[in-house]
Amino acid sequence: MWQDILITIANAFLGYALIPQIIKGFKEKKVNISFQTIILYAIALYMIAISFFTLELFLSSIVTGIAATLWLILFIQSIIYKN
């Protein structure tokens, strides 16, 4: 399905955009994104990943799950560094 490939590419870009933020968080020991934003994005992306999986959009499901996990890493950083 072409939709699976398109969604995969879009989510790969969005996940890649989080990597500098995660690295910055490790270096500066702080996260500049609100706790509420982080947790809502993580939960929503995991829900979307599950939906993609049930629609048999397996690539989209995997990449969306990775993006959700990157948000989860930011969540963990926000707890550890307690801005």
Give the CATH fold of the 2-81 domain.
Monooxygenase (1.20.1280)
In single-letter form, the type of residue at position 47 comes to M
pLDDT attached to residue 31? 87
pLDDT attached to residue 83? 55
pLDDT attached to residue 73? 95
Written as tens digits, the pLDDT of the chain (83 aa) is: 889 999 999 999 999 999 999 999 999 998 888 889 999 999 999 999 999 999 999 999 999 999 999 999 999 999 998 85
Flag whether the pTM goes above 0.85. yes
Residue with tokens 């989080």: 18
Q: Which residues fall within 8 angstroms of residue 19, CB to CB, at 6 or more apart?
A: 70
Domain ranges of the chain: 2-81
Cα dihedral: 48, 50, 51, 57 (round 10): 100
